[in-house]
Structure 1
């Protein structure tokens, strides 16, 4: 991780899933951590787990709700902490997804939840990248990892907002890579297929990877590729998006219908 140039890593959405997995991987590699998420108890659990495994690691937590915060909240609650640290890695992981696939006008929660998802999936990445980049440019080293999704590779009906925001992350990352690679800064978009998480409700299989398996693989690609699905299994799966829409769309339609039915059935049993 010599590309980082400094020993602090900032990770958003780090209380579980991919964010937590990145936190553990980076702690193992000797980085101190700033973990940012909205649930204090979960953040403290992750902090305690990491310190127990890696006693020399310094861990700071910031409780912050990206979906309900203004820019002034960033200035008050996040920036003062970041200003005092030499940050070598930024992992923009925080994100939301649809509760289940559906027509956009039936989006669960209506315009308010639309605004929240669009905000969480795009604004934190933009603001924190802008905040942290200047010191990276100054030292001519740094790593920015932006978590997108393989859904960015295809226009998926009934996933319009999620796909659109993840496409933004991929495109934003590609543009940043072209801008900052000549200045010594590594920018990578990670676009995984299905991953086990609290958002997806998937169970681990040979093709649906755990966050730990995906991140252990993805982190090895930093500095070698500016875009990756994170794992060879997902690279193979993502090749399916190369087929024409008339071939891919029916498959996605069946998948979306099945997923909605399963989630609604789970809700009824609770």
Structure 2
């Protein structure tokens, strides 16, 4: 019987083990390093004309958008508040102005019907309203829950409701970015932040919410690669977001995995200049998704179905009581 050369067996296995170890180490560093890099937000305080830079934040009359406006003003930016309620924008502007008296604020109102039907929006007019300022930051935060109910099956919503929701969540921010891009290039360096969601994984009972968030993250990657190819000095950053309190949809007490909007925004702005096109904005949220990714696929699917089905049932019971 022929003898086995142990070295011929062990050596290849050792090499494979070392390569696998290097692969694991690389993946770990790739995941961690972006969160260790210091924010480069201050880079966008330096403008070509030497004037104070402006940031335009959509959906900024409350919640995450208002927190972005607040934090950016605290960091030295003047703010354009864009939203769908004139009264709420006026109140937000007054509150922010009192808090940041040295900053300038202006508002742009897009009526509800305009966001749901972008054909009614004059995007050149919006661009014209910011021609006289040094706009170099755009935060696409405008959005909202599914119409009539936070959760529902696709046949629960009318075709018009689904179309209008897609327009608000995806069409409007895409067209707005295109309209404002010349200003970002002119004033440079520019920064575009797109707000996404972990619902882009394909969460049930959100027939247009999750898909439009996935659209925005793919759009972030497309645009980031486009500016690289063109040599344009504009950073594109897609931020994936988990549950956040202090918003119209979540009034719960803040916790580690459901931070207040103010704390979330601080973490989000810390990701500027991280070197990624799309990233989990808040570290505990990123850890959640990382752990979910380690689960066997069937376990992850069961967990998602169990959690969301429960919330869907609660939503149906709440609506039944209101009728």
Q: TM-score, normalised by structure 2?
A: 0.76
Of 248, 251, 259 in structure 1, the residue corresponding to residue 300 of structure 2 is: 248
State the distance in 1 between where 2:296 and 2:224 align: 28
Name the SS of the counterpart of 1:218 in structure 2: helix
Q: Does 1:29 align with 2:81?
A: no
Name the SS of the counterpart of 2:310 in structure 1: helix
Question: 1:77 Cα deviation (Å)?
Answer: 5.3
The RMSD of aligned alpha carbons is: 2.1
Q: Does 1:261 align with 2:310?
A: no
1:175-215 deviation digits (Å, cap 9, x = unpaired): 11112244221110111111122134554222111111100
- Unpaired runs of 5+ residues, structure 1, are none
Question: 1:104-253, aligned counterparts within 5 Å?
Answer: 104-107=154-157, 110-152=158-200, 154-181=201-228, 182-196=231-245, 197-200=247-250, 202-224=252-274, 225-242=276-293, 243-253=295-305
When residues 149 and 217 of structure 1 are mapped into structure 2, their CA distance, relative to the original with a 3 A threshold, is same
When residues 201 and 113 of structure 1 are mapped into structure 2, their CA distance, relative to the original with a 3 A threshold, is farther
1:223-255 deviation digits (Å, cap 9, x = unpaired): 113322211111101114424442212111121
Question: 1:122 Cα deviation (Å)?
Answer: 0.5
- Which has more radius of gyration? 2
State the distance in 1 between where 2:297 and 2:215 align: 20
State the distance in 2 between where 1:140 and 1:43 align: 27
When residues 129 and 244 of structure 1 are mapped into structure 2, their CA distance, relative to the original with a 3 A threshold, is farther
State the distance in 1 between where 2:45 and 2:170 align: 23
- Could you tell me which residue of structure 2 aligns to residue 55 of structure 1? 101
1:84-130 deviation digits (Å, cap 9, x = unpaired): 322110000001222333321123xx112111110001012111111
- Unpaired runs of 5+ residues, structure 2, are 1-41, 48-52
State the distance in 2 between where 1:77 and 1:96 align: 24
Question: 1:159 Cα deviation (Å)?
Answer: 2.1
Query: Is the Cα–Cα contact under 8 Å of residues 35 and 61 in structure 1 kept in the other structure?
Result: yes
- Between Structure 1 and Structure 2, how many residues are aligned? 267
When residues 191 and 174 of structure 1 are mapped into structure 2, their CA distance, relative to the original with a 3 A threshold, is same
State the distance in 2 between where 1:139 and 1:82 align: 11
Question: 1:47 Cα deviation (Å)?
Answer: 0.6
